[in-house]
């Protein structure tokens, strides 16, 4: 199972045997319903993604069955190899896939993981889509088989991710797993998406405003700075566009002819003179199980932890 079509393009040229499927959800974005009914979970996800992101609900529900069918057939395979990257985007998807496999309640074959955050042949590595076909076979040989303690942590982390108390995630982020070596940093990056105690900005919003203080930037230049410096998130153009649009509606930045600039209000927010949440609607925005409009939780960057306000 590959996390994303960019990896599939490289994979198809590598000549690696086995059935291939691509996981295309972005479970790090938006609401993750608390229900244990899988069909209801995805129906609620589909409705939410259409409302908040304009993703066609019917198309979403049409694409889903084929991916789930492959997972439902897990017991028929000799081995399941998950190719997931180090970033938040991939790690949250990985947690769900492991949860889904576990709730099948069947005798699973060995489940292995290929993951990396750098490659000696790829300067500025950001994801497997940057690899060449000849890189994949050696990575497959280095795969690690998930052990019971890995499964336990993954299942706990998924439940914590869709809970409304981020302290549970924070506790798990400090665990030292055997093979889920990138999970802790990804979970911390997730917590840093909570509003900041100083000005209400999360880490991503703060990054954009901070970079724009030096002057206007093209969207492409701003995004490339994000991808180089905040690669822990693994976000693509779509997610960054959504963030920029929300910030534009809040009045902290302006966009014109693909150029982005900070406003006077944006400078005041960045300086802590105003609070971003006073200008940016949080209605029906979620981080996993956390409703941003009502949560009392904040990220304290000075202390490096979540706090209850």
Q: Characterize 243-280 residue by residue with b for buried, 16 or more Cβ atoms within 10 angstroms of its Cβ, and e for exposed.
A: bbeebeebebbeeeeeebebbebbeebbeeebbbbebb
Would you give the DSSP letter of residue 294?
T
What integer pLDDT is reported at residue 217 of this predicted model? 98
Residues of the chain with pLDDT under 50: none
Backbone angles phi, psi at 163, to 5 degrees: -100, 160
The answer to whether 292 touches 200, Cβ cutoff 8 Å, is no
The reported pLDDT for the residue numbered 213 is: 98
String of DSSP letters for 174-242: T---SS-TTHHHHHHHHHTTSPBTTTS--HHHHHHHHHHTT--EEHHHHHHHHHHH-TTS---HHHHHH
Torsion sign (Cα): 58, 286, 258, 85: negative
d(CA 275, CA 281): 12
pLDDT by residue (tens digit) across 25-71? 999 999 999 999 999 999 999 999 999 999 999 999 988 888 899 99
Give residue 269's pLDDT: 99
What is the rounded distance in angstroms from the CA atom of residue 29 to the CA atom of residue 13?
30
Query: What is 4-59 written as a DSSP string?
Result: SHHHHHHHHTTT--S---EE---TTSEE----S-HHHHHHHHHHHHHHHH---HHH
Q: From the centroid of its chain, how far is CA 42?
A: 17
Q: List, by residue range, all CATH 1.10.10 domains of the chain.
A: 203-308
Q: Which fold has domain 203-308?
A: Arc Repressor Mutant, subunit A (1.10.10)
Looking at residue 163, its pLDDT comes to: 96
Instruction: Provide the whole-model pTM.
Output: 0.96
């Amino acid at each position: 199972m590959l996390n994303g079509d960019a990896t599939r393009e490289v994979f198809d040229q590598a000549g690696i045997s086995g059935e291939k499927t691509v996981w295309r959800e972005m479970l790090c974005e938006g609401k993750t319903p608390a229900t244990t009914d899988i069909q209801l979970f995805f129906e609620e996800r589909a409705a939410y993604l259409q409302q908040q992101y304009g993703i066609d609900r019917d198309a979403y529900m049409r694409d889903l069955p084929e991916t789930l069918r492959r997972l439902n057939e897990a017991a028929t395979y000799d081995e399941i190899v998950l190719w997931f990257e180090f970033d938040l985007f991939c790690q949250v998807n990985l947690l769900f896939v492991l949860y889904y496999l576990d709730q099948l309640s069947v005798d699973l074959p060995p489940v292995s993981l290929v993951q990396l955050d750098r490659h000696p042949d790829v300067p500025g590595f950001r994801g497997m889509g940057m690899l060449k076909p000849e890189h994949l076979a050696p990575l497959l040989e280095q795969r690690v088989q998930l052990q019971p303690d890995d499964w336990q942590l993954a299942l706990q982390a998924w439940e914590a991710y869709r809970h409304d108390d981020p302290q549970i995630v924070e506790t798990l982020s400090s665990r030292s797993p055997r093979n889920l070596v990138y999970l802790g940093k990804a979970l911390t990056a997730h917590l840093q998406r909570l509003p900041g105690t100083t000005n209400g900005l999360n880490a991503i919003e703060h990054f954009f405003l901070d970079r724009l203080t030096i002057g206007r930037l093209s969207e492409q230049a701003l995004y490339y700075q994000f991808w180089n410096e905040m690669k822990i998130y693994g976000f693509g153009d779509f997610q960054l566009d959504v963030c920029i649009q929300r910030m534009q509606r809040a009045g902290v930045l302006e966009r014109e002819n693909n150029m982005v600039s900070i406003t006077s209000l944006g400078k005041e927010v960045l300086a802590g003179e105003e609070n971003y949440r006073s200008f940016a609607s949080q209605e029906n925005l979620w981080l996993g199980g956390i409703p941003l409009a009502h949560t009392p939780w904040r990220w304290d960057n000075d202390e490096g932890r979540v706090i209850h306000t």
